[in-house]
A = this chain, B = another copy of it.
Amino acid sequence: MSKREGLMATIKEVAALAGVTPTTVSNVLRGRGRVGTETRERVLEAVAAKGYRPNLNARALVERRAPTLALMLGCITNPFYPEFTLQANNAARRHGRFLLVCNTDYEPDGGTGFLADVAGSLSDGILVANNGDLHIDELTAIQAAGTPVVISIWESPDISPGIPCVAFDSHKAGFIATEHLLDLGHHRIGALIGSAKNGIHGGRYRGFHDALRSRKVKHIQADARFVTDSYQGGFDAAVDLLKARPDLTALFVSNDLPALGALNAAATLGLRVPEDISIVSITNIELASQSRPALTTVAIPTAEMAEQSIDLLIKLGAGEMDVPAMIRTADPVLVRRASTAPVKK
């Protein structure tokens, strides 16, 4: 590979043009130190004339910190992530940082080397979007090596991963969603869970379970399906479940994406939503308001989690010691739309 010509102006050239030293140019550009008004003018002119921009790599090297933060997520193709990413990106930019968005799903070695490279020099902090498949030991090692790590979208406010994190109350989300169904008079409710029973959506499932129990409603294991957290996963499981248990009047789905699949599955089976079957889920991604019928769902504080995570990362990077080990975000709230209605049968 032939290296490209160095057509970029360096600080030296700018300094020469302005008749000062690199230090002064550096000071002017970063507002450090005291520089005479006139000198500053001259420097600024030279900078403009040369179209100079500092080499961020060189700066990172000497400052021992990169101007970037990394966001590790499974697959950007899951519609939840773009929404989260946008908020995280905006928050990072507000702090003058660039956000490195890292798709880890298709990394060959499971992303180990990838993560180490990104953490080691490419970025100044790692924001891990919890996908239920965290390698805590790796993250701990990275943290120990000096790079701040924050886990976001943590589902259990009462269990700590041992790494700074931003959590929401997933149990309450499941509880609220289920209460809504119960309030509408449903008591034959199926569940579609986008993980294993004790997987990432375990808290949501327990919320569902506890809501039923609090109203003395029976729930049999046959009415639950533990599936892939995807549109297709929801579709397939809904077809299966609705056929097997035709007496169900409502479905609790642990996530919007499979709920959208379930919505379509119901239509495919000739069931009207919400007349024949109500569907409620959790998250409130943008698509939830665009489906037909629009999806009733329990909104989790996505934007808040993204922002708090970035803020926390910045604080950790700045060496602040009084940072909380866990930030609990606002409670989830029910967003009533058109996919749920009072029970009829």
Q: Kindly identify which residue among B4, B103, B144, B261 contacts A147, using a CB–CB cutoff of 8 Å.
A: B4
Q: Which B residues touch A263, using CB under 8 A?
A: 292
> Nearest Cβ in chain B — how far from A101, in angstroms?
4
Query: In this assembly, does A339 line the interface, its C-beta being within 8 Å of a C-beta of chain B?
Result: no
- Is the interface on chain A under 10, 10 to 19, 20 to 34, or 35 or more residues? 35 or more
Query: In this assembly, does A3 line the interface, its C-beta being within 8 Å of a C-beta of chain B?
Result: yes
**A19, CB-defined interface residue at 8 Å:** no
Q: Taking each of A83, A103, A231, which has the highest tally of chain B beta carbons within 10 Å of its own beta carbon?
A: A103
Is there a chain B Cβ closer than 8 Å to A286's Cβ?
Answer: yes
Number of copies of this kind of chain in the complex = 2
A264 B292 Cβ-Cβ under 8 A: yes
* Chain B residues closer than 8 Å to A116, beta-carbon distance: 53
B83 contacts A3, C-beta separation under 8 Å: no
**How would residues 89 to 124 of chain A score, 1 for a CB under 8 Å from any chain B CB and 0 otherwise?**
110010000111111001100000000111011100
- Least CB distance from A185 to B in Å reads 27
Interface mask (A174-197 → B, CB under 8 Å = 1, otherwise 0): 000000000000000000000000
Whose C-beta in chain B lies nearest to the C-beta of A316?
A: B4
How many angstroms between the C-alpha atoms of A317 and B100 in the bound complex?
21
Binary B-proximity of A257-269 (CB < 8 A = 1, otherwise 0): 0001101100100
Please name 12 pairs of A and B residues whose Cβ atoms are closer than 8 Å in the assembled complex, sorted by A.
Answer: A1-B65, A8-B120, A53-B121, A55-B61, A75-B86, A82-B82, A93-B106, A231-B290, A261-B290, A264-B290, A287-B287, A292-B292
